[in-house]
Structure 1
Amino acid sequence: MKLKDKVSVITGGADGIGRATAQKFAKEGAKVVVADLNEDAGQNVVAEINNQGGEAVFFKLDVTNFDEVTALVEFAVNTFGSIDVMFNNAGIGINKPFLDHTPDDYHKVVAVNQHGVYYGMLAAARKMKELGVKGAIINNASVFGYVATLGVTGYQAAKGAVVMLTKHGALELAPYGIRVVGVAPAAVNTNIVEGYRAAGLLDYMKKQQLTRELIEPEEIAEVVSFLATDEARVMNGSVVMADDGFASFKSDLRPF
Structure 2
Amino acid sequence: MADGARGRLSGRSCIVTGAAQGIGRAIGEALLEEGGDVCFADINAEMAEDVARANKERSARSGGKVAWAKVDVTKRDQVQAMIDKAVDAFGKLDVKFNNAGINKPLNFLDVTEDNWRTIMEVNGLGVLIGMQEAAKQMISQGGGGKIINTASIASRQGFDNVAPYCASKWAVVSLTQSGARDLAKHNITVTGFGPGVVATEMWRQLDKDLMEIGVSEREGQAIEEFSADILRGRVATPSDITGTTTFLASRESDYMTGQIVMIDGGMTLV
Match of 2:171?
161
> What CA distance in whole angstroms lies between the structure 1 residues aligned with 2:239 and 2:82?
25
Deviation at 1:196, TM superposition (A): 4.2
Counterpart of 2:55 in 1: which secondary structure? helix
Work out the percentage of aligned pairs sharing the same amino acid: 36
> What CA distance in whole angstroms lies between the structure 2 residues aligned with 1:118 and 1:79?
24
> What CA distance in whole angstroms lies between the structure 1 residues aligned with 2:74 and 2:164?
15
- Spell out the pairing of 1:51-70 with structure 2 (5 A cutoff): 51-52=57-58, 53=60, 54-70=64-80
- Aligned with residue 190 of structure 2, among 175, 180, 185: 180
Equivalent AA in structure 1 for residue 100 of structure 2: A
Asked whether the equivalents of residues 229 and 267 of structure 2 are also in contact (C-alpha less than 8 Å), the reply is yes
Equivalent AA in structure 1 for residue 258 of structure 2: G
Equivalent AA in structure 2 for residue 112 of structure 1: V
Match of 1:5?
11
Asked whether the equivalents of residues 95 and 195 of structure 1 are also in contact (C-alpha less than 8 Å), the reply is no
> What CA distance in whole angstroms lies between the structure 1 residues aligned with 2:98 and 2:242?
13
> What CA distance in whole angstroms lies between the structure 2 residues aligned with 1:177 and 1:40?
35
> What CA distance in whole angstroms lies between the structure 2 residues aligned with 1:215 and 1:133?
35
Match of 2:124?
114
More displaced stretch, 184-193 vs 106-115: 184-193
Q: Which runs of 5+ in 1 are unaligned?
A: 250-256
Match of 2:217?
none
TM-score w.r.t. the length of structure 1 is 0.94
- Aligned with residue 101 of structure 1, among 101, 104, 111: 111
Asked whether the equivalents of residues 9 and 35 of structure 1 are also in contact (C-alpha less than 8 Å), the reply is yes
Asked whether the equivalents of residues 6 and 30 of structure 1 are also in contact (C-alpha less than 8 Å), the reply is yes
TM-score w.r.t. the length of structure 2 is 0.89
1:54-106 alpha-carbon deviations (Å, 9 max, x no partner): 42111011111011111111111122110000000001111110111211011
Q: Which runs of 5+ in 2 are unaligned?
A: 1-6, 212-220
Asked whether the equivalents of residues 173 and 260 of structure 2 are also in contact (C-alpha less than 8 Å), the reply is yes
Match of 2:235?
214
Give the number of equivalent residue pairs.
Answer: 249
Deviation at 1:179, TM superposition (A): 0.4
- Spell out the pairing of 1:1-256 with structure 2 (5 A cutoff): 1-52=7-58, 53=60, 54-198=64-208, 199=211, 200-248=221-269
Match of 1:254?
none
> What CA distance in whole angstroms lies between the structure 2 residues aligned with 1:150 and 1:195?
18
Asked whether the equivalents of residues 99 and 150 of structure 2 are also in contact (C-alpha less than 8 Å), the reply is yes
> What CA distance in whole angstroms lies between the structure 2 residues aligned with 1:40 and 1:64?
19
